[in-house]
Amino acid sequence: MALRELKVCLLGDTGVGKSSIVWRFVEDSFDPNINPTIGASFMTKTVQYQNELHKFLIWDTAGQERFRALAPMYYRGSAAAIIVYDITKEESFQTLKNWVKELRQHGPPNIVVAIAGNKCDLSDAREVQEKDAKDYADSIHAIFVETSAKNAININEVFIEISKRIPVVD
């Protein structure tokens, strides 16, 4: 069976749930007291999809206030970036737009961008409308999903969508 290796980095404000998304994807669990990301962590997960093995090399970054200078080290060589915002925090959606600009200016030219509106289980506290985020994602040709690391919504899906968008090079 063919094996594809894909480097994926996660970007977004501190507290939006980047580490929780990675933890849900890799371990299929959720820890409400997850340690705030210190520096960055690296994890891998291999999933089978349509007769191929997809090995994701996942770089989870520290919060934006600290890592702006470090960011290129995460996104350099990445096939894809998952930029995460928190649907209950409008500000985190504005930060996401800055990440998109930074990737367009300094990131790998063909990097696949996926936008994840996380914490969709907290829709009572919603500040970012799904349609607004979807329209924005469409305008930059990005994948868009609302996710919940807590309730395991769309977590595997976002990784599979990324893999589908990345051309196979033989």
Q: Report how far residue 164's alpha carbon sits from residue 142's, in angstroms, rounded to the nearest whole number.
A: 13
Q: Which residues is 43 bridged to in the sheet?
A: 58
CB of 20 to ligand GDP, least distance (A): 3
Is residue 44 within 8 Å of residue 168, measured between CB atoms? no
Looking at the Cβ atoms of 18 and 54, the one nearer to ligand GDP is: 18
Q: Which residues is 11 bridged to in the sheet?
A: 83
Based on the shown chain and the rule CB under 6 A, indicate whether residue 128 belongs to the binding site for ligand GDP: no
Looking at the Cβ atoms of 21 and 103, the one nearer to ligand GDP is: 21
Q: Which of 8, 9, 11, 19 binds ligand GDP (CB under 6 A)?
A: 19
Pairing type for strands 52-60 and 41-49 reads: antiparallel
Looking at the Cβ atoms of 63 and 108, the one nearer to ligand GDP is: 63
CB of 109 to ligand GDP, least distance (A): 26
Give the ranges where the chain is alpha helix by DSSP (H): 18-27, 64-67, 71-75, 90-106, 130-139, 155-165
| Interface mask toward ligand GDP for 79-118; x: CB under 6 A | ---------------------------------------x
Residue with the CB atom nearest ligand GDP in the bound state: 17
Looking at the Cβ atoms of 19 and 163, the one nearer to ligand GDP is: 19
Edge-first strand listing for the sheet containing 143-146: 41-49, 52-60, 2-11, 80-86, 112-118, 143-146
Stretch near ligand GDP under the rule CB under 6 A, chosen from 1-9, 30-38, 75-83, 130-138: 30-38
The CA distances from residue 161 to 31, 34, 113, 123, 165, in Å, are: 25, 26, 10, 24, 6
Looking at the Cβ atoms of 14 and 168, the one nearer to ligand GDP is: 14
Instruction: Return residues touching ligand GDP (CB under 6 A).
Output: 14-20, 32, 34, 36-37, 63, 118-119, 121-122, 148-150
